[in-house]
Amino acid sequence: MTEPTDIVPDPMDALLGPPTPSGAEEALRRRLLARTTGALRRRRRLRLAVWAAALVTCYAAGGLTMYWFAPQKVQIVKVKESPASAPAPQPSPTPPAAEPPSAIALEWKAFDADGSRPDLYRQAGDQYARSDDPVSAVRCYGQSLDGASDKDLSISPNDDYLLMILKQARQKEKDDAKKHD
């Protein structure tokens, strides 16, 4: 392990090494670095500005949508009547008719009842069908048809269309069950 003490320089080292910068080249490098850095900063700022503008536009569009589709305010004008011209309230000869129970009340009543469950479920289903709630109507009609006899599954002219469809489906189920037995 002896090391040579006299190292001869390679004549190609000067050609393969980095050039020594001159004053003009150093100025060119600084100008190029400044222009490149400025361009990158402008692009980043422009990208952020575009994102911010898109967010503001979306927010404004949402606000305008809410404004356009909001219910219009109606101004109610009260007309003052003189006390002399106002007719005195007269008691009604018949008490007002009691409102029929709501569909949900009928459904709960049927749920709690022991004897007349199918009838109450059917009444609740009829009320749901009249109030445009077909999902609840089908649920109540289905409960009223659970364990129904062949007579109960026959379609009558007073049945609602949903009830007719359910009755037909239940009849088909019974027919198919008889075929496979």
Residue 43 domain-assigned (yes or no): yes
Share in percent of the chain as helix, strand, coil (round to 5): 60, 0, 40
Residue 74 domain-assigned (yes or no): no
* Helices 117-130 and 161-180, axial angle in degrees (round to 10): 130
Residue 147's domain comprises 103-176
Tell me the HSE value of 153 on the side-chain side, using a 13 A CA sphere: 16
Given 43, 65, 87, which residue is the final one in a domain? 65
Note the pLDDT of residue 13: 82
Note the pLDDT of residue 81: 62
Note the pLDDT of residue 160: 81
Contact 137, 160 (CB under 8 A): yes
Q: Give the integer Cα–Cα distance in Å for 147 and 165.
A: 17
Q: Are residues 110 and 172 in the same domain?
A: yes
Q: Which tokens hold the place of 103?
A: 């569909």
Residue 17 domain-assigned (yes or no): no
Q: Give the integer Cα–Cα distance in Å for 26 and 5.
A: 37
Given 44, 65, 86, which residue is the final one in a domain? 65
Q: Are residues 121 and 61 in the same domain?
A: no
Total of domains in the chain = 2
Given 39, 65, 91, which residue is the final one in a domain? 65
Q: Are residues 125 and 172 in the same domain?
A: yes
Residue 18 domain-assigned (yes or no): no
Q: Give the integer Cα–Cα distance in Å for 177 and 130.
A: 33
Q: Are residues 110 and 59 in the same domain?
A: no
Per-10-residue mean pLDDT of the chain, 181 residues long, equals: 71 79 84 96 97 97 90 70 60 64 81 79 86 87 80 81 85 84 69
Residue 50 domain-assigned (yes or no): yes
Residue 167 domain-assigned (yes or no): yes
Q: Are residues 110 and 51 in the same domain?
A: no
Note the pLDDT of residue 1: 55
Question: What are the residues whose beta carbons fall under 8 Å from the beta carbon of 141, sequence distance 6 or more?
Answer: 121, 122, 125, 160, 162, 163, 166
Note the pLDDT of residue 35: 97
Residue 87 domain-assigned (yes or no): no
pTM of the entire structure? 0.44
